[in-house]
Structure 1
Amino acid sequence: MKTVIRTKLKHIFVVAAFVGILSAGIYIFNTVSEAYTEQSGTVTSISGGAVNVRSGAGTTFEKVAAAPFGQAVTVIDETTASDGYKWYNIKYNSVTGTITGWMRSDYILITPVSGDPSTDADFEAYLNAQGFPESYRVYLRDLHAKHPNWVFRAQNTGLDWNTVINEESKLGTNLVSSSSPSSWKSTQDGAYNWDTGKWIGMDTSNWVAASEGIVKYFMDPRNFLVDGSSILQFESLSFANTQNKTGIANILSGSFMATDNYYRIFYEAGFDNNISPYHLASRSLQEVGYNGSGSSSGTYSGYEGFYNFFNIGSTPNADGSGALVNGLIRAKKEGWTSPELSIKGGAKFVGNNYIYKGQNTLYYQKFNVVYSGGYGLYRHQYMTNIQAPTSESTKMKKAYTDFNASAITFIIPVYKNMPDIAAEKPTKDGSPNNVLASLVVDGYSLTPYFEKFTEDYSLIVPSDVNSVQIGATAVATSGASIKGVGVKELQPGENKIDIQCTAENGDVRNYTITIIRTVEEINPGAEGENDPDGEDDTADNFVIESNYKIDEFISGIEPGTSSEQLILNIKVAGYNVKVTDSSNAIKTGKIMTGDSVQIYKDNVLVKEYPVVIYGDVTGDGNIDSLDLLYIKRHTLNIKALSGIYVNAADTNKSNDGIINGLDLLYIKRHVLDIKKIVQ
């Protein structure tokens, strides 16, 4: 007979030693055999989903279970199946009991044991296979050198980093303590009252919405791939055979739960539900505190004899009250009439609602980027405190008597389009209030009217005004400073004046006032006016083919149209078309009010049509604030328009020769991109 001896690395075949004794025609062989060396491993998959466990080595065998991603397993045997793949015989604990079966070896990541001769090249190859970005590797290499027994697994979420941050930054999704630095606190709508300078409580006044900057910091895995407790937020929360009551005792040390009975309860709750008892102990401690709370005392008035060690269902009412009572209502409904029933019932809740759904790390329970069921990604999150994963990690570290040498598996998320450098922790403090309460120019009205979040304004002053007085006040009565106010000299034409409001924390908001000081009017129609020159338009008969409107003048031309485009769009059979400017020179470039379209027959001018672009009152081809000024001066009888420029100013196309506030409004809406003037 031939005995197969298996070790961790390969099959070793021991050839039977032939004794060479011939007795009664029978050959007798002695054999030497050796038991399989068990190994620890973790279930892995490219998709991050569960992997089938079968009754035999091969896909043709019956499925007996589906091991979740990150499940810790013990490999008790191995063989090469008929499909050519190596298969592992595994066992692990689940909620239904101990599962034993077979799984293909490439779905199990073997945990290296102390002393394994893994080289730097091996580790680099492993990082490549896992798909870790280079920006992660600088941290992982350092950790691997210090902790060769640690296993790092990448989970590619398939999610865009910027999308994730945008979703997790939505109001109320993540909270920070109201005593946090101001740069940790959001100023988005509903999070901060700019009029009072105070943050709005989300879960009582002690918790406020987290800023996008601090969300980036706590969500960036690279910030926690360090030699310390915070990396434990990526530890797999499945039960592992290496976990024991001693580790639980270390976590609960100094708390009201530091007794053998609680150590037993947490261990059994973890074992029975295939959840890390270290996680259960630290989570409970996080929820009820070292001295316990009303939810764990069993003596809360009206709910005596009921316990909720995980604060399950302890959501606050709309006014921020009632969280504790709501949790005890849940405890009463579940029948948690003892600490043991509460802890074991709570463990089942955590398993069914989070760990078995793929949220099997502290990180994933806080930031749901893996479970799309229920309300979807970013919604099914155990806690709102953005610091909870790092805080609980500190408690979990106490479980390890030899943290540096322990064999721990970490499941680390990877996102698409991440920046090359890890997000920095915001550090600025002080009030962020940098809005103005008022902004005035003495003697004039701003357009539009002042509003603290509107940052751009304009006004027009006469040509004889060479300075203005600007004043402003800040909403923040202390800590904010204002620059750019006082007397400002004005040059003819456009003047841009910046007023800056700087908050106590250094954030700057810039307001701009554009002041147009009018210049001595040069009437654009006074000389060389492009009225028809009296040529006899009956000298010849012709037909103009064009989409433009042609009467006494030609209109319907969009601003920015070139002379070349204009000529191409006007067809006069048997005639030549030319475009000239106001000085009668051949026109090139952009068409503007005051240009002319001329019709020639045998080099004889037979008809001329002035060009009108509604709103281009100055004749420069643009519709802007200077045109506003020309119309305003016309309506105030400061300087009248004449000729074709009156037609250009008639933006509402009343064709009555009267220019009024309605025409002014049409240009203002055009300039502000509210509604364009129809040509």
Structure 2
Amino acid sequence: MQKFMIGIFAFVLILASFGLPTADRANASSTYYAYVKSYTLKVRDKASTKYRTLRTLTMGNKVKVTRNVGAFSKVTYGRTTGYVQAKNLSRTKFRSYTAFVKSYTLKMRSNASTHYSVKKTLAMGNQVTVIGKGNKYALVSFGSLKGYVQNAYLLTTPFPSYTVYVTSPTLKLRDHASTHYHVLRTMQFRDQVTVTGKGVKYAQVNANGIIGYVQAKYLGTTPPPTLGYMTTQYPYSLSDAVNKQLKTLRLTDATYSLFVPKNNLTYNGIQWEANTATNVWGGPDNQSWVVTQIAKGKVVQLVRSLDNSDWDQVGFKTGWVNASPADVQYNLDPNNFQNGSAESYQFLDLSVPTAVNPDEVNNKLLKGRGILAGKAATFIQAANQQHINEIYLIVHALLETGNGSSPLATGYSVSSVNGQPVDQKVVYNMYGIGAVDSDPNEKGAEFAYQQGWFTPEAAIIGGAQFIASNYINSSVYHQNTLYKMRWNPANTGAAAHQYATDIGWAVKQARMLKDYYNLLSTYSLKFDIPKYR
């Protein structure tokens, strides 16, 4: 046995004398094929990262492994044989799968970094085949092209398309997800489209075969309300309408530049003040309009003294003032309020109930609104009986009652009317009718007593009758829109029977109406657009 062992040792020494690499032989394994699993892999002429690179392989390349040397494998790829890091090889071929682009655009690059060139820009919804994947990038094929994209922008399932409706008056369909890009077409309110992809701000849609991008906030999954439009022609021009309004009280809370004649101001050593009662004008001449008046002794700030002029510009807190002719014209001109905008709701026909859902009204408009909570059915009853818009009635009631919490809304005890004793009863007034500024609660309660409004329901229905007969369905005035209630355009004589002096009243009320309708899903509306000669 001792001779046998000595013989083996001698044979090993002989092999070593021929220079065969014993380390290689110790780590050798049978030949097999493997696949590159890193984005790139350098093939070197020896088993160390210090040695020369023969070539660079890419993800998915198939190599023949002939030997393992420590952390390296000796491989052959085509005509190149060298050493690669074994950790970047896999004996199992990557199982490719289909993926879909979920970003607006996705750059396919020549290598796995944003520093490399772009081979193609993919679009939202494009289908690719993932043929390799790392921590951040995936190697994909798209048609005949191969390149790298970021994993975060791929989905393994296609976007579940669904039908939506355009909810804005118009909506531009663009070829990319930005307002800077080309408009493919302009869609209209209630147009139906299919959403084929969606990002944070934009949605990709198919509009009758045209695929593009729109702002997602202007799409709704339920059919928008039915909107009808009609036009009423008036027998005079817009300028005639403006001139008529300039001859009556027209107020605004807007702020204007203010001017007074120099001779009407005195500096008392400390401050500037009016030395006489004077008009304050909207321009440095008496051809402009009178904004307001100030009394003698009114302290003002001198904004600037105009050179070569008899006027000074002043400043002080004004509050409600006379509106400028330009502002009157702006609010009178229907062309300034696009159909479908919040401001266009001043043209909403208030003489037509809008078929709202009572449960939806209770849950979305009247919930938590004091004594008005749960009263949707009563408002709808009043609307149907008086041929009046129920949401307008609700808005009016909420405003007048402080969201259903005012004394007149919650019940007010009355024992005398116009100074005469009556049977004491609790009354309700939901619209503030008869509640004059000097004594709103007493006068509003006395009016309610005279009308027999002894329950909240009676006050809702009876008040609706009063509003309808005096304005909305008046046989004399026919003021069935907020615009008509404010401006009374059918009156061809002097301005009269106008609900408010604020030139912005109709617009402000319209915005509130629109806000409430935005909370509802089922209703139909009719608009009456004024048109001047």
What TM-score do you get using the length of structure 1 for normalisation? 0.34
What TM-score do you get using the length of structure 2 for normalisation? 0.42
Which structure carries more relative contact order (alpha carbon 8 Å, separation 6+)? 2
Which structure has greater strand proportion? 2
